[in-house]
Chain A
């Protein structure tokens, strides 16, 4: 089922902004580490090591900051200046994750912002694209 068109309403944004960003960032980092450990995410950590990433979910008013070292991902501090910032609304991030939309399409239509180290952005994008969900229990979510 495709992700419906939605934007989080302002009251949702106000509510979410009161919550600390750490739990969602922790969840993201934990998921990335699990995927990497199981070799679903074939990350060449030498390309990511030392870099800080910010994922800004615009309509939620939420920015998830994390960094990578030689082995794994860690939550970062929101004050850290990111090497790469990706910004979009929640619905579009979901579409990217579920492979309903391609990031170039969202970029052309200005629904995805990529700032900072463009090459790092390409590495991350291509890393996510290379995940073969067929080899994981998540495959049933990825069928078109």
Chain B
């Protein structure tokens, strides 16, 4: 039996954290209630008390807690980000997930015992970047953006001693994460700066009589027919008129789902598989964690005999954005 990658699941609240652990996550990742993390949504995330309780719950079940501090500190205003790192260290999290080079340096110098993971927002897509983060800051794991093919993931792993974490399931970002400024064109705020693609106060869903209009800062970004599935109200997933045709211009709302290539990911030697969705509810966390736990365990027992169970696919398809799933960039046969 081969060594399994860790299953890393999202927690936007204490019940979601418990749902992840109860259903077989090896580690959960969470953020504080401010713009120091990339799911800065009203009412979501943890304060000191709920984070302490979550960490205690995880410890009692011998699981890990990672804290995402993965937005970029604004010039002249990095105190909140530094305070978040200090708090993570004081809480005793198992690692912090950082993107900003200045914060990586701060954490490395101030808290040498604190384990550092390079966030997907850090946007390291090649082993040179990852090895540099290792030599400069002692980074022990890097999360790869969802733009690499399986062969490229293998190539990275073959050329670094840093652990590699990849996304296994969740709402798909078509951009190279950490390099997207698209939403700031509509709202002045972007994931890197404010921790959210489409800040809720800019979003309006309106019944137009025949369906639903989605607007971002008054800009019409999609118009759903009565029976069409909807997605998150982000510019990248909108439908726009280009040269007389109205359709998805950048991507159609969909979710990444790697179930079909779990044996290959295990064979490639990834250290961890991550589930997206700190903004989702405990019900999502429970359903997705349960399906991936079973699938990973089965793939670990025998890659040859591994087959994707319809029940797993159904569970994941149901909670998917746009209710369709894809292997994304992993499955690109061309070079």
Contact = CB atoms under 8 A, between A and B. Distances in A.
A109 B286 contact: no
Contact of B283 (A100, A118, A124): A100
24 contacts: A47-B43, A99-B15, A99-B282, A102-B319, A104-B280, A104-B284, A104-B321, A107-B230, A108-B230, A110-B212, A110-B227, A115-B205, A115-B206, A115-B207, A119-B42, A122-B41, A123-B43, A126-B12, A130-B43, A132-B15, A132-B18, A133-B15, A134-B15, A134-B18
Given A99-B281, A118-B204, A118-B205, A126 B323 contact: no
A102 to B, nearest CB: 4
Nearest to A100: B283
Contacts of B200: 118-119, 121-122
Tell me what chain A mostly uses at the interface: helix, strand, loop, or mixed.
helix
B162 to A, nearest CB: 33
B245 interface: no
Interface in A56-92: none
Contact of A123 (B42, B204, B280, B282): B42
Contacts of A8: none
Interface in B165-208: 199-201, 203-207
Contacts of B280: 102, 104
A85 to B, nearest CB: 10
A46 interface: no
Given A115-B206, A122-B200, A132-B15, A105 B43 contact: no
B44 interface: yes
Nearest to A131: B15
B322 interface: yes
A129 B282 contact: yes
B229 interface: yes
Interface of B: 12-16, 18, 41-44, 50, 199-201, 203-207, 212, 224, 226-231, 253, 279-284, 286-287, 318-323
Q: Which 3 A-B pairs have the closest CB atoms?
A: A126-B43, A119-B200, A102-B281
Contact of A132 (B12, B14, B43, B201): B14
Interface in A104-144: 104-105, 107-110, 113-115, 118-119, 121-127, 129-134, 144
B15 A129 contact: yes
Contacts of A109: 229-230, 323
Contacts of A121: 200
A121 B230 CA distance: 17
Given A115-B206, A129-B12, A103 B201 contact: no
B214 to A, nearest CB: 10
Given A114-B205, A121-B200, A130-B15, A105 B42 contact: no
Contacts of B14: 130, 132
Given A108-B322, A109-B323, A118-B204, A102 B43 contact: no
Given A105-B319, A109-B323, A115-B206, A126 B41 contact: yes
B15 A122 contact: no
B205 A126 contact: no
A110 B230 contact: yes
A108 B321 contact: yes
